[in-house]
Structure 1
Amino acid sequence: MGTIQPVTDAEFETAVLKNANPVVVDFWAEWCGPCRQVQPVLEELAKEYEGKIEFLKLNVDENPQTPLQYRVTGIPTLNVYHNGEVVKSLVGARPKAAIKAELASLATA
């Protein structure tokens, strides 16, 4: 619990768009330094928001369709989905406090 599960293009609709909870999707790649930098922060947030916000990660190299569909051009990108729609998009590595501030309104939704 509280860990970030991977999601694929094939699973995206069910795991993200049809999810009853808000979902943060981390668009990342193995070779991306800032992606590795933000990973521990997202792990901490996944534990803090367990049961309120779900956290998933999508490898853009292995799953190119979803990033193309949502116009993800830079990584890391954190897209926040709620009720099947993107409600926030955060591009680039950010400190925990900044990400937490962006998610605050969703945790009570």
Structure 2
Amino acid sequence: MNETEAPAAVTDAEFAARVLQSPVPVLVDIWAAWCQPCVTLKPVMHRLAESYRDRATVLTLDADSNLETVTRFDIRALPSVLLFDQGVLVGRQVGAQPQATYAAMLDARLSARAAGVAPTAIAAAAPAPAPVAPESPASREARELAAATEPTLIFKHSATCSISIGVKREYDAFVRAHPNVPARLLVVQNERPLSNALAEVLRVQHESPQAFVVRQGQVLWHASHHRITASRIADAFSAATHAV
């Protein structure tokens, strides 16, 4: 066979006889006409078929026309190249890989056969990665607040709590006296997702009222209820500033 000769095709109906019952290892290239990487892999399969003639067989299988095999071996992406020996699936590569990758699979199996090592089945397919949920705006803001490069004040306020209403006067007094200090007032009833996200990001259990001084991912000071006063916030900022 030369590079202009394609490896033979196999179908669902022929798969058992030509692949699973083959006396030599069989490399199966599972492809589709619409798959551009599959097209780029064709000459690689041609060369492998020629290089391993009489030691292994290289076959192709059209995924669109042979859904039984695709389903049986849990093909989730194309191209997928499977290696079988003695009816056992012993290797799998997903995506178009260099010729050396497939040659290494074949060489390893041929060496094992020569040493009398029985084939060991691999899993039908690697588990699909769990989908990653997009980051919510609240989580993003919580991370950004925590990562501030200069000390930042965060105050969680409950608009329905008499204690919080009283403590907020302390927060307001500090902000009036220090207008240049970065500060974020969070009304819990209106911004519950952000409140929850901050508890997770800062790793401090939620309370309200609650105040934090944060910088670069660290909680430099925090307090709740009547422990929050304008003077204590000022002391916390003084300590944070001198620690920079």
TM-score normalised by L of structure 2: 0.43
1:75-90 equivalence runs, <5 A:
75-90=78-93
Q: Which ranges in structure 2 are unaligned for 5 or more consecutive residues?
A: 114-244
Which protein, 1 or 2, shows the higher relative CO under an 8 Å CA cutoff with sep ≥ 6? 1
Note if 1:94 corresponds to 2:97. yes
Q: What's the RMSD between the two structures over aligned residues?
A: 1.2
1:5 corresponds to: 8
Superposed CA offset, 1:66-94 (max 9, x none): 01001011110000000101000111100
Return the match for 2:76 from 73, 76, 89.
73
In 2: Cα distance, 1:36 partner to 1:83 partner: 29
Normalized per residue, which structure has more helix?
A: 2
Q: Alignment length, in residue pairs? A: 109
> What is the Cα deviation at residue 104 of structure 1?
1.4
Q: Which ranges in structure 1 are unaligned for 5 or more consecutive residues?
A: none
1:31-70 equivalence runs, <5 A:
31-70=34-73
In 1: Cα distance, 2:85 partner to 2:101 partner: 20
The structure with the largest alpha-carbon Rg is 2
| Secondary structure in 2 matching 1:99 | helix
Note if 1:106 corresponds to 2:80. no
Runs of at least 4 residues of structure 1 off by over 3 A?
A: none
TM-score normalised by L of structure 1: 0.94
Return the match for 2:23 from 14, 20, 28.
20
Question: Does structure 2 retain, via aligned residues, the 8 Å contact 1:29–1:35?
Answer: yes
